[in-house]
């Protein structure tokens, strides 16, 4: 009975998404904006688990910088920003290489081009901030087409729809299975890729531990490994909202001196280039996500309520401390 209900639910989800792909592109940009704001506010009310996660994340990240009322406002806006990202992705078939600049402006694009050379082979380190989907589409329209690992849904009926939407500016989406090898081969051919680097990764899956708002978290080291193997430069980038419903894609400076850095230090440098933007304007980040699933054995400050001690994460932290200690001794001896 449960399996039958799941099949029915998955069919209804597919039907709802299919209808949305037909109806949302008919809306004006103003209509999309108001639809997303309403949907996001409603979702913040319905998703009480995500709402509580977001409140806890904000409290541990910022301490007493925000009052409880201000935290609730930021959480509601975070849901609304995510809803805007999804609604705009559904509207995006109306974007073209000729008109996308009406909706998306660029910052530091020329500097990025100089840093990557004429072939523009690169690894773009992205974040779940504001409209990360349009950041990717803009890259394709800017002739920065790349190979990207796709995130499969539990409901596999939805995958073809999202794949079509995300590939429309020229990217190639590949499945997670052997995905890193596909990215490696693309970069060896002087291609490009983009990775979302602010998601929690289990310590057993090639992760490194970084400081995120002064709290330890476990993130991917795939971009560092790919850079080490191919020499493709790492360019952090994020998208931020503008007051008129448009967006700005910001390319950060290339991560420099990587030959002297460990994978952990490269991942930390990518995060450090981005955190100041979140501190300045927190709401567009995905606060309802569990960014700090793992807690150190002896934390020196509070962690979110959902965090748990995990031995493999503690081993990761101990390894990083040992590496830092060894490097410090070598510098002193030098």
The pLDDT, as a whole number, for residue 324 is: 61
Q: What is the structure's pLDDT at 267?
A: 97
Mean pLDDT of 295-309: 95
Please state the rounded mean pLDDT for residues 283-293. Answer: 98
pLDDT tens sequence across 15-74: 999 999 999 999 999 999 999 999 999 999 999 999 999 999 999 999 999 999 999 999
> 22 is in which domain, residue-wise?
2-333
Long-range contacts, 157-166 (Cβ 8 Å, 24+): 157/10, 157/11, 157/13, 157/14, 158/13, 158/14, 158/17, 161/14, 161/17, 161/18, 161/21, 162/89, 165/21, 165/89, 165/90, 165/92, 165/93, 166/89, 166/133, 166/136, 166/137
Helix (H, G, I), strand (E, B) or coil at 174: strand
Q: Inter-axis angle of helices 222-230 and 179-188, to 10 degrees?
A: 30
318 membership: H or E segment, kind and range: helix 311-333
Q: Read off the pLDDT of residues 64-105 as tens digits, 9 standing for 90 and up.
A: 999 999 999 999 999 999 999 999 999 999 999 999 999 999
What is the number of structural domains in the chain?
1
Rounded to whole angstroms, how far apart are CA atoms 232 and 240?
25
Confidence class for position 329, pLDDT limits 50, 70, 90? low
Q: Is 261 helix (H, G, I), strand (E, B) or coil?
A: coil
């Amino acid at each position: 009975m449960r399996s039958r209900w799941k099949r029915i639910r998955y069919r209804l989800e597919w039907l709802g998404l299919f209808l949305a792909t037909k109806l949302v592109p008919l809306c004006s940009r103003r209509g999309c904006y108001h639809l997303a704001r309403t949907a996001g506010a409603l979702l913040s009310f319905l998703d009480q688990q995500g709402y509580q996660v977001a409140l806890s994340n904000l409290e541990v990240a910022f301490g007493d910088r925000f009052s409880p009322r201000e935290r609730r406002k930021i959480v509601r806006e975070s849901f609304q920003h995510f809803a805007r990202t999804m609604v705009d992705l559904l509207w995006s078939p109306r974007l073209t290489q000729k008109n996308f600049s009406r909706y998306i402006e660029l910052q530091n694009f020329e500097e990025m081009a100089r840093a990557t050379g004429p072939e523009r082979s690169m690894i773009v380190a992205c974040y779940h901030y504001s409209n990360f989907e349009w950041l990717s589409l803009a890259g394709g329209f800017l002739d920065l087409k790349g190979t990207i690992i796709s995130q499969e849904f539990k409901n596999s009926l939805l995958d073809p729809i999202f794949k079509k939407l995300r590939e429309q500016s020229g990217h190639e989406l590949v499945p997670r299975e052997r995905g890193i090898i596909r990215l490696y081969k693309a970069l060896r051919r002087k291609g490009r890729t983009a990775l979302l680097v602010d998601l929690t990764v289990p310590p057993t899956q090639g992760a490194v531990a970084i400081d995120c708002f002064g709290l330890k978290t476990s993130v991917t080291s795939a971009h560092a490994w790919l850079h080490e193997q191919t020499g493709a430069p790492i360019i952090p980038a994020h998208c931020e909202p503008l007051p008129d419903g448009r967006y700005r894609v910001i390319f950060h400076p290339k991560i420099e001196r990587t030959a002297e850095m460990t994978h952990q230090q490269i991942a930390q440098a990518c995060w450090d280039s981005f955190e100041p933007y979140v501190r300045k304007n927190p709401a567009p980040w995905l606060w309802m996500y569990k960014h700090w699933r793992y807690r150190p054995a002896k934390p020196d400050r509070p962690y979110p309520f959902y965090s748990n001690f995990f031995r493999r994460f503690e081993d990761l932290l101990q390894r990083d401390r040992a590496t830092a200690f060894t490097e410090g001794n070598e510098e002193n001896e030098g």
